[in-house]
Structure 1
């Protein structure tokens, strides 16, 4: 009997299962409105992104790090001459983000339900532990996952470890996500299959300039296609 080529499925969370980046973009717009006295929007946005990148090794990914980066940027561009209302406004925006309802992307639930009966599903996401746990609970999807891995960074070693611990190894794993940089390239490097589902909004940090081609990479526009991809891969080895 020939074994299946794919036995374990990994799924990214933010902007793969539910909306995320749109809330960051909206909040950044409000943040820029607070700082109109200190520069034009394009320059201020670039300054914020530079601070975010600088702070990733310290704060990691997620809303709390974003809020701290907004505060740091505001202090930098104003030379510390900020009205208290600006700091209060930034903190209020962060609290709003942390309490925002979870909005599932189209056909996510149906797809996970179709796959969960046949394969172990593993949520593999980076970001703030409390916030990601909150969103997973609020999404109503938690019961569909065999395991949840909230990691500080997604690298080839991360995927190798997760697929070994939660499945039959990376070579029999498949990762689904919207970010080439975090979800796709390191999973492929680890030896897994990958399905890239682009999102309309992707954080600049996650952009990859070069075209990616790989025999284990599939590019789809709808998460529902993951069912077909897995059937195709496993059908080819039957």
Structure 2
């Protein structure tokens, strides 16, 4: 089922956040600082995190993804914890905690540049990421990776329809097209639902809301441990 090096040209579609560069670890650092800030003897840290996850899940459905929605979720979680509106001072402090998310630089996953360079000589590469358009484009620009891809795409959500739309728009052949990413929910399962192959590269810091169970018997899902391992299969 796997495509060995030297085989016919394939289309490889890459996720961005936590596949090409580290992303969620930055949010986790902000959350740790936030949990320290709201800590009190009568408040269990695990319960606060669970509440934040619940608020984030609801806001993702209504408002999408990105640092602005994340900051909104931090504020709403604080209001639910305190049973009152957040003060201007509290909201300013949340903004200060999250300022790191707005910096114009990204930390590439080890081996990404070398791997994309080699794969680009063998196959056709595309980029598909979800979230706030301006924010995702900023990260793409900061990564300096755009020239590796024949096209880049930013969508509000990566469900089956997003993959079907991409397949139709670019006349992709599902049998020779692979989605590569770290998220079971957004990269692997919907790509398989659209008939594409999928390569799962787990990231230890993947957002909890992107986790989902994969079918261990699905022979069109290839699981790797590191990004450069792609060169052994494509």
Judge which range, 60-69 or 29-38, deviates more. Answer: 29-38
Per-residue deviation, residues 131-150 of structure 1 (Å, max 9, x unmatched): 11111111110111111111
The equivalent residue for 2:4 is: none
Q: Supply the RMSD in Å over aligned alpha carbons.
A: 1.8
Instruction: State the distance in 1 between where 2:63 and 2:71 align.
Output: 10
> Structure 2 length as normaliser, TM-score?
0.90
The 5 A counterparts of 1:193-212 are: 193-209=197-213, 211-212=215-216
SS in 1 for 2:109: coil
Moved segments of 4+, more than 6 Å: none
User: Which of 28, 40, 53 is residue 31 of structure 2 equivalent to?
Assistant: 28
The equivalent residue for 2:119 is: 115
Structure 1 residue 167 displacement after superposition:
4.7
Judge which range, 183-192 or 38-47, deviates more. Answer: 38-47
The equivalent residue for 2:191 is: 187
Structure 1 residue 168 displacement after superposition:
2.4
CA separation of 1:93 and 1:218: change in aligned 2, threshold 3 A: same
The equivalent residue for 1:159 is: 163
CA separation of 1:6 and 1:184: change in aligned 2, threshold 3 A: farther
Instruction: State the distance in 2 between where 1:179 and 1:212 align.
Output: 15
Instruction: State the distance in 1 between where 2:80 and 2:104 align.
Output: 28
SS in 1 for 2:169: helix
Instruction: State the distance in 2 between where 1:78 and 1:199 align.
Output: 34
- Aligned: 1:17 with 2:23: no
Instruction: State the distance in 2 between where 1:33 and 1:122 align.
Output: 40
The 5 A counterparts of 1:219-234 are: 219-230=223-234
- Aligned: 1:146 with 2:139: no
On the 8 A contact 2:129/2:155 being kept in 1, the answer is: yes
Structure 1 residue 119 displacement after superposition:
2.2
The equivalent residue for 1:235 is: none
Instruction: State the distance in 1 between where 2:97 and 2:217 align.
Output: 40
Structure 1 residue 5 displacement after superposition:
6.3
SS in 2 for 1:164: helix
Structure 1 residue 82 displacement after superposition:
4.2
The equivalent residue for 1:233 is: none
Instruction: State the distance in 1 between where 2:219 and 2:8 align.
Output: 14
Judge which range, 10-19 or 156-165, deviates more. Answer: 156-165
Per-residue deviation, residues 9-37 of structure 1 (Å, max 9, x unmatched): 10000110000111011001111122124
Instruction: State the distance in 2 between where 1:132 and 1:187 align.
Output: 20
Instruction: State the distance in 1 between where 2:194 and 2:95 align.
Output: 39
User: Which of 78, 82, 87 is residue 74 of structure 1 equivalent to?
Assistant: 78
Judge which range, 85-94 or 124-133, deviates more. Answer: 85-94
